């Protein structure tokens, strides 16, 4: 038989357990707070360029479709669609643009001189990976309306 003072102690102990957090509860809350702070302060994942290509647009030629003074579209496919992309012609930057959406960045390129050109696209958080590239040979371009004839 339970005496009245003992029953009151049991009820107050139960109520006290519900009102005060247990050690396990405090550890769980602390671990969750640490996890949230790590997620919020984590560095962004490395953004990289997957592929680079250049289209001849309306330009044409016998040896090559790429000519000096003519305009071309250079495309870069990206692993993420937030970080800006810098385009390079033989290692020299010629444009920096934000992605158009869907992991694609587009830029117009007008070659200034004849010869071989290596076009690359890089993102600043790309890590140590080698940037993808495309090589094109550029001849002398002659404008014919909106297009170019390449000699």
Residue 110 has pLDDT above 70, yes or no: yes
Partnered with residue 138 across adjacent β-strands are 115
CA gap 63, 137 in Å, rounded: 9
Q: Residue 39: what pLDDT?
A: 38
| Structural tokens at position 131 | 């940037």
Q: What is the pTM of this model?
A: 0.67
What is the pLDDT averaged over residues 124-136? 80
Note the pLDDT tens digit of each residue in 4-22.
655 555 555 555 555 555 5
């Amino acid at each position: 038989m339970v005496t009245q003072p003992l029953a009151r102690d049991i009820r107050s102990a139960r109520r006290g357990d519900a009102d005060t957090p247990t050690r396990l509860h405090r550890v769980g809350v602390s671990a969750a707070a640490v996890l949230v702070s790590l997620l919020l302060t984590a560095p962004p994942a490395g953004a990289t360029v997957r592929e680079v290509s250049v289209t001849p647009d309306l330009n044409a030629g016998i040896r090559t479709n790429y000519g000096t003074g003519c305009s071309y579209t250079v495309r870069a496919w990206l692993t993420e669609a937030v970080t800006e992309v810098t385009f390079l012609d033989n290692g020299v930057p010629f444009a920096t643009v934000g992605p158009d959406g869907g992991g694609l960045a587009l830029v117009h390129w007008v070659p200034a001189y004849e010869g071989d050109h290596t076009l690359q696209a890089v993102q600043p958080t790309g890590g140590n990976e080698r940037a993808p590239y495309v090589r094109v040979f550029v001849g002398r371009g002659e404008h014919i309306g909106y297009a170019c004839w390449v000699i």
